[in-house]
């Protein structure tokens, strides 16, 4: 009983002790993350109050960072950037506009607490008094913002082959997706912050995504429980997305606690080897400390292990403790240490893993060898005010003798990410380039059993490709005018395939003691699949937080053994699969556009 209630007790004590202030967080996928990353690089130094490598970021920190070098309110311009002539030359009018909008969107954290831009004309003198918000209430002891969340997309796809090889049914050309819901955020007495958002979603996927969702371990990318049409193989998936949290400072401006249900992302790249937002929402407790040049956080997560979807039932649970420490070693260099533990206990959360400071590897040895331990190192550097270089190195298990012996032992489990960003590329204002390479050895995220693997709700917790792959991504992002953004991206990856009963280390849901062989394991192990993806998106903001999206993608997939999808041993048989799709969509208060160019 003690273990079952430990997390709830910790949360209750934390919020009871909070007596200073609170914050809410920028939503994952928001353009503000790109802009903050851009501005921090243009300053030539890392801010001690920001930690963009761990998302979500506090609205409070984001607004104070922008205000710190000139944007004192939403109506100001950046006419003079304090103390940095290089930054002053690099900043553009569009940057000034984006800064003003960031402050307006989180106006309660402006220096005067009233940074939200007022609408020129409200509706019935009650709605849209501020440009971003349907309803806006602020008193000395209460703040509330309420907004609708609406998204709809129509897509036309063509596939080669055009007929599903298993059923013989023609693949539909027209597919749709829509979401409708609401979000609310605010604070009470400036001590407890809160946020909640829910959407009801109906979605038809492009063919290759539909194949992925129907694999043996069924899942909708990024979602949890879902319903699908039983009469139509290519029918709609119906699911809810809900997230929310309460938040308070334990030590004002330094130690913060959040108790909620949602997602997180640790990294600076397109993807992360540590933790991504690709799996479903999850219950969590998050402790953050920011002091001096240190940023430290501890995540306590409740996860859902893999299962076969059947009738309604109560899912079993597993747990994870994740710790991430970063240090601004110099004004231009940031270093990080990551560790995670995934484990299952019949009695609830393991007490020893609640320790926010001790290394999880030490606790793993104390508890036995059945838990999944991962450690990682990260680095990030700013060069010449325009360049940013970042990387991650992940280590699960290795032996020096085997690592240096050249025998390609299956237990050498590691991954590496290297990437770079070039802001105002070649002197062109608001043209930003990014390139990245990711490589993960087979078996890296697998565990000794099928419970403690690095997954949640039938989806990887890190990169959606799992293990045994090499991936290269390049992107150009251009904002030529205030409300218009163009993004073009190219992706190429190679990945090994598990076939038949052989466990070649590419399916992270299989336990690694069943490995087909212990030596001769290559990065791309077993039959190879390769994929090329090219995508283009045009996004125009019609009014505050109302976006129109137009774009398309081309995807070419080839497998040596004609097995598709690549992540399943029970997928449909197919030769090369080429998919082209174009889409048109509208988003209102939805930070992210549903994209499928990640696997």
Instruction: DSSP letter for 570, please.
Output: S
Determine the distance from the C-alpha atom of residue 547 to the mean position of all C-alpha atoms in its chain, rounded to a whole number: 21
pLDDT confidence band for 321 (50 / 70 / 90): very high
Question: What span, in angstroms and rounded, lies between the C-alpha atoms of 451 and 511?
Answer: 9
At residue 71, the pLDDT reads 44
pLDDT confidence band for 165 (50 / 70 / 90): confident
344 vs 71, 159, 261, 285, 350, CA distance in Å?
48, 42, 19, 17, 8
pLDDT digits (tens, 9 = 90+) for 35-83: 999 999 999 999 988 999 999 999 999 999 998 866 444 444 444 444 4
pLDDT digits (tens, 9 = 90+) for 512-560: 888 888 999 999 998 888 999 999 999 999 988 899 999 999 999 988 7
At residue 231, the pLDDT reads 62
User: What DSSP line would sit under 117-137, residue for residue?
Assistant: PBPSS-BTTTB-SBTTBSEEE
Please tell me the least confidently modeled range out of 191-195, 215-219, 354-358, 576-580.
215-219
**Residues in CB range of 16: below 8 A, 6 or more apart:** none
pLDDT confidence band for 383 (50 / 70 / 90): very high
At residue 450, the pLDDT reads 83
Tokens of 360: 């999880």
Whether residue 161 is preceded by a cis peptide bond, meaning omega within 30 degrees of 0, is yes
- Residue 304: φ, ψ to 5°: -110, 120
* 4 vs 135: which has the higher pLDDT: 135
Could you state, in order of their start, the residue ranges of all structural domains in the chain?
2-588
| Bridge partners (DSSP) listed for residue 583 | 155, 551
Question: What span, in angstroms and rounded, lies between the C-alpha atoms of 540 and 537?
Answer: 10
Question: What span, in angstroms and rounded, lies between the C-alpha atoms of 357 and 323?
Answer: 8
pLDDT digits (tens, 9 = 90+) for 268-304: 999 999 999 999 999 999 999 999 999 999 999 999 9
Whether residue 211 is preceded by a cis peptide bond, meaning omega within 30 degrees of 0, is no
Please tell me the least confidently modeled range out of 86-90, 117-121, 134-138, 163-167.
86-90
**Residues in CB range of 486: below 8 A, 6 or more apart:** 476, 477, 478, 479, 480, 536, 537, 538, 539
Please tell me the least confidently modeled range out of 101-110, 113-122, 359-368, 499-508.
359-368
204, 141 in Cβ contact below 8 A?
Answer: no
Question: What span, in angstroms and rounded, lies between the C-alpha atoms of 510 and 446?
Answer: 6
Q: Which of 287, 290, 195 is nearest to 10 (CA)?
A: 287
At residue 152, the pLDDT reads 95
pLDDT confidence band for 398 (50 / 70 / 90): low
Prediction pTM value: 0.91
- Residue 386: φ, ψ to 5°: -125, -20
345, 2 in Cβ contact below 8 A?
Answer: no
Question: What is the radius of gyration, based on Cα positions, of the chain?
Answer: 24
Burial label, 259 (beta-carbon count in 10 A; 0-12, 13-18, 19+) = buried
468, 523 in Cβ contact below 8 A?
Answer: yes
| Three-point CA angle 147, 122, 179, nearest 5° | 25
Fold of 2-588: Porin (2.40.160)
Tokens of 20: 């200073």
357, 297 in Cβ contact below 8 A?
Answer: no
Question: What span, in angstroms and rounded, lies between the C-alpha atoms of 371 and 364?
Answer: 6
- Within 10 angstroms of residue 166's Cβ, the number of other Cβ atoms is 12
- Find the DSSP H helices in 357-487: 360-367, 400-405
- In 3-state terms, what secondary structure has residue 573? strand
């Amino acid at each position: 009983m003690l273990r079952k209630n430990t997390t709830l007790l910790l949360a209750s004590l934390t919020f009871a002790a909070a007596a200073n202030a609170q914050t809410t967080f920028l939503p994952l996928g928001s353009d503000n993350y790109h802009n903050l990353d851009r501005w921090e690089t243009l300053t030539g130094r890392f801010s001690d109050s920001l930690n963009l490598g761990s998302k979500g970021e506090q609205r409070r920190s984001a607004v104070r960072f922008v205000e710190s070098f000139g944007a004192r309110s939403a109506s100001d311009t950046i006419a003079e950037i304090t103390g940095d002539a290089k930054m002053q030359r690099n900043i553009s009018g569009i940057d000034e506009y984006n800064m003003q909008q960031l402050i307006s969107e989180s106006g309660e954290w402006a220096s005067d607490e009233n940074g939200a831009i007022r609408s020129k004309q409200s509706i019935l003198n009650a709605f849209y008094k501020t440009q971003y918000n349907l309803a806006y209430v602020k008193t000395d002891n209460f703040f509330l913002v309420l907004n609708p969340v609406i998204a709809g997309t129509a897509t036309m796809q063509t596939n080669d082959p055009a007929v599903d090889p298993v059923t013989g049914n023609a693949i539909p050309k027209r597919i749709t997706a829509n979401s409708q819901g609401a979000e609310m955020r605010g604070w009470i007495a400036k001590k407890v912050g809160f946020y909640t958002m829910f959407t009801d979603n109906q979605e038809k996927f492009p063919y290759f995504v539909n194949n992925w969702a129907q694999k043996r371990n069924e899942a909708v990318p990024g979602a949890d429980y879902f319903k699908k049409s039983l009469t139509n193989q290519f029918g709609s998936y119906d699911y809810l997305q809900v997230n929310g949290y309460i938040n308070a400072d334990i030590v004002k401006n330094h130690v913060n606690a959040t108790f909620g249900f949602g997602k997180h992302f640790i990294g600076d790249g397109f993807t992360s080897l540590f933790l991504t937002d690709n799996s479903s929402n999850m219950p969590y407790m998050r402790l953050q400390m920011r002091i001096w040049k240190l940023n430290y956080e501890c995540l306590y997560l409740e996860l859902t292990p893999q299962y076969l979807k059947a009738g309604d039932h109560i899912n079993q649970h597993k747990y994870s403790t994740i710790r991430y420490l970063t240090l601004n070693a110099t004004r231009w260099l940031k270093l990080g240490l990551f560790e995670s533990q995934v484990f299952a206990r019949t009695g609830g959360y393991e007490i020893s893993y609640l320790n926010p400071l001790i290394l999880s590897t030490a606790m793993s040895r104390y508890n036995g060898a059945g838990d999944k331990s991962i450690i990682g190192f990260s680095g990030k550097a700013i060069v010449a005010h325009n360049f940013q270089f970042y990387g991650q190195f992940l280590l699960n298990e290795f032996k020096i003798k085997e690592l240096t012996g050249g025998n390609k032992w299956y237990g050498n489990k590691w991954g590496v990410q290297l990437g770079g960003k070039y802001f105002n590329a070649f002197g062109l204002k608001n043209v930003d380039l990014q390139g990245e390479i990711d490589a993960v050895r087979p078996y890296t995220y697998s565990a000794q059993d099928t419970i403690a693997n690095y997954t949640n709700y039938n989806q990887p917790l890190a990169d959606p490709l799992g293990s045994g792959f090499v991936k290269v991504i390049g992107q150009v992002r251009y904002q030529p005018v205030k409300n218009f953004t163009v993004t073009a991206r190219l992706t190429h990856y190679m990945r090994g395939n598990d076939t038949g009963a052989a466990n070649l280390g590419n399916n992270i849901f299989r336990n690694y003691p069943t490995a087909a062989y212990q030596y001769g394991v290559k990065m791309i192990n077993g039959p190879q699949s390769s994929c090329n993806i090219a995508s283009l998106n045009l996004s125009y903001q019609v009014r505050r937080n109302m976006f129109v999206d137009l774009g398309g993608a081309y995807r070419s997939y080839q497998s040596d053994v004609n097995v598709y999808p690549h992540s399943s041993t029970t997928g449909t048989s197919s030769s090369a699969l080429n998919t082209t799709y174009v889409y048109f969509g509208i988003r209102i208060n939805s930070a992210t556009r549903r994209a499928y160019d990640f696997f």
